[in-house]
Chain A
Amino acid sequence: MKPYQSLNYFELLEVPHTATTEEILDAHRRQQEMYAPDSVALYVLEDTTQVEELRKLLTEAMEFLSDADLRAEYHQQLGLPPPGARPEAPVQPPASRAEALPPPRPAPPPPAPVQVEEAPKAGRESSIPGDEGVSAPAVRVRESRISRVEFSPDAEFNGELLRRIRESRGVSLQAMVDRTRISTRHLESIEADRYKLLPASVYLRGMLMSVARELGLDPARVARSYMDLAARASGPSSP
């Protein structure tokens, strides 16, 4: 029994972890309909911002699980067998794609206990927070906090700024890896603005949003800003 904030992506979308990409997209569509603002089922909810938040999480879940790489990583994090039916090849050309993939590396250390996710099977176990609502859920949405790093309202979020904000929050790179389940390599590339080494934009977007969320920043804005910079840097013709 878990509140939606602690559900993993499969539980959020109400799909088994063997679901195909198509089933995930389908489930996402269904869920978006169920949680449409005028749904009669939501009538008893007093706090409608929660529905908004849930809808964002559902989209994030869809974006993560419909991506081959992220999904494989996610399965590993949850201790699930690797996804059986691999989704289709990504939109990026194979060459640069290979470049973007992290080299094989030893299995990551087990995540810190608070970050451990229960596999869907264990979904009935407790995770109702007993205190202050902090139980380090699989998917979390943080409230914006006042940053100790100064940046103007129209600041461009490049990797450098993201790194400075992260450090100002006292969040180590490893902690960020644990929390976002993004590989160290990718996180380093994001923060170093090594655009060429970054994965295709659909994956990058999800990663940026996760990072932003961890830092209490507006996920959509950070992703847009960063990806604008990346697109400008790699030139209009480049993928």
Chain B
Amino acid sequence: MTVDDAEEASPYQGEAMPVAAVSKNAFPGSAARARPRRIIAVGGGKGGIGKSLLSANLGVALAREGARVLLVDGDLGGANLHTCLGMPPPSVTLSDFVQRRVATLEEAQVSSGVENLRVIAGAQDVLDAANMRYPQKQKLIRSLLATDVDYLVLDLGAGTSFNTLDFFLVADIGVLVLLPEPTSVENAYRFVKAAFFRRLLNVGMEMGVADLVEDALSTRDGNSLTPFTFISRVKRQNPEAGAAMERELTTFRVQLVVNQVRTGADAHVAQAVASAWKKFFGLEMEPIGSIPYDDDAWRAVRKRRPLLLESPDSPAARSITEVARRLLTLPGPPSAGP
């Protein structure tokens, strides 16, 4: 089934149509086509938690390890990745591509000033990209998936809008940022859960039981459903669909970064979240780093310089470099060639 077929056949026009199912097969029989070796998406469900700081500096770190990196500002409501990189307001942005003012994604790229690191800045006009329709999103995702780089790093916005969730789901590596405080943990869980249920909606559609997913999520207790309790419920109604969804749960894996760590106890939050979310919800979280709260971090932002270049020896910069190294060692998607 091609993407275009999906658009026509689907009752889910516009926003509601999840993109991950079709994007898996976006290029039937085109394994040889160029694609990023890895797509990394950085999300967290909340604003101001360091997603852009981490994305920008991961980009710098990966580029310095010799990888060709494209950083994309996917914050459709508050793009500021360029600021974290110390770039002037961009002359061309993602919305120029979405609105077809430029023909290719390549034309929307600008140089970051760091070797090997190119950037697609975020839409400066909030309305432009936030209102992206389904066909535009499909085109964008297809183009991103066809970019010839080693690493594509997607900096996501706050919240759990479908666009944001879909960017998270197309990534090979989903990185979740959270701060060791209740509000952030709460938003992070909501984000991961929303992403997972969106993925289940794909499975539900493939198996013709999308209504099961939608019903469950729209019932009054939908809010308190965990992946475990939800899948149990589906199993009772449709064992086959339940089993398929359980397989999704076992392969759904999120990399976890805790930012702005201040105390010894904070340093253990990543492990505790990973342990608890697995035991209680079935969500597999992999702690890949803790970044200390560091005055150098906000100083660099204020000076409009990437932290890794401004204060490479600061504790925060070192931790981000470690996270980048961890990401370099993660296994890639099975489809990615050698």
Who on chain A is nearest to B275 by CB? A34
Instruction: Please indicate the chain A residues that have their CB under 8 angstroms from the CB of B275 in the complex.
Output: 14, 31, 34-35, 41
List chain B residues, Cβ under 8 A from A130. 232, 235-236, 239, 242
B256-285 interface bits toward A, Cβ cutoff 8 Å, 1 = contact, 0 = none: 000000000000110111011101101010
A34 to B274, CA, bound (A): 10
A34 CA to B235 CA, complexed, in Å = 31
Q: Is B249 an interface residue (CB 8 A)?
A: yes
Does B162 sit at the interface, judged by CB under 8 A? no
Given A39-B272, A44-B189, A130-B232, A4 and B280 contact (CB-CB distance below 8 Å): yes
Known: A41-B272, A43-B185, A44-B189. A128 touches B231 (CB 8 A): yes
Q: Is A126 an interface residue (CB 8 A)?
A: yes
| In the complex, A42 has a CB within 8 A of chain B | yes
Interface presence of B91 (CB below 8 A): no
Contact residues of A: prevailing secondary structure:
loop
Chain A residues near B282 (CB, 8 Å)? 1-3, 128
User: A32 CB to closest chain B CB, in angstroms?
Assistant: 11
Q: Within 8 Å of chain A (Cβ to Cβ): is B334?
A: no
Chain B residue numbers with a CB within 8 Å of A14 are 275
CB-CB nearest in chain A for B223: A46
Chain A: CB-nearest residue to B252:
A1
A33 to B264 alpha-carbon distance, docked (Å): 12
CB-CB contacts of A106-145 with B at 8 A, as 1s and 0s? 0000000000000000001010111101000000000000
> Which residues of B lie under 8 Å from residue A54 when comparing CB positions?
279
Segment 168-220 of B: residues with Cβ below 8 Å from A = 180-182, 185-186, 189
Show 24 A/B contacts (Cβ-Cβ < 8 Å), sorted by A.
A1-B246, A3-B228, A3-B280, A3-B282, A4-B280, A31-B275, A39-B272, A40-B180, A40-B181, A40-B182, A40-B185, A41-B272, A41-B276, A41-B277, A43-B182, A44-B186, A45-B276, A126-B246, A128-B235, A128-B282, A129-B235, A130-B232, A130-B236, A131-B235
B contact set with A: CB distance below 8 Å: 180-182, 185-186, 189, 224, 228, 231-232, 235-236, 239, 242-243, 246, 249-250, 268-269, 271-273, 275-277, 279-280, 282, 284
Given contacts A12-B279, A128-B282, A131-B232, 7 further A-B contacts (CB under 8 A): A35-B275, A35-B276, A39-B272, A40-B185, A45-B280, A128-B231, A128-B246
Chain A residues proximal to chain B, CB less than 8 Å: 1-4, 7, 12, 14, 30-31, 33-35, 39-46, 50, 54, 124, 126, 128-131, 133
